[in-house]
Amino acid sequence: MTIERVSPSQVYSLKGLSATVRIGNTVHISGQVSLDKDMNTLGKGDPEAQLRQIYKNLDDLCRAHGGSLADMVKTITYITDISQYPAVSKAREEAYGDSPPANSTVIVAGLAKPEWLVEIEGIAYIE
């Protein structure tokens, strides 16, 4: 089976990693933070604004493989404080409606940059 590594131009790209790795119909998506395609952090101090950008990135990455957020089957959400959990729950419900993927939420001491409050990685199944 072929391994396809894709870092589409509509989402930011970091050296040393692929935004997505596709094996068959399974797409593994690297952790997404609130960076736009020009590497600007959006929503500093605002978890809801950060989540809007994160879900945009996730959707753009699924679309690069012919899918959408509806194809997400598993996510792992990292938050830096329990106070962010209501915003995460609200954003997840808005993004997925009645068909959310499986999810684990983990509280971490910090992310790669202090202004990042939330990071979400995922797996999508796209035929």
Q: Are 30 and 17 in contact (CB under 8 A)?
A: yes
Q: How many domains does the chain have?
A: 1
**d(Cα 126, Cα 9) in Å, to the nearest integer?**
20
Q: What is the pLDDT of residue 1?
A: 86
Q: What is the pLDDT of residue 46?
A: 97
Spans of the chain below 50 pLDDT:
none
Q: What is the pLDDT of residue 107?
A: 98
**d(Cα 18, Cα 50) in Å, to the nearest integer?**
21
Which residues constitute the domain of residue 87? 3-125
> Which letter does DSSP use for residue 28 in this model?
E
Q: What is the pLDDT of residue 38?
A: 96
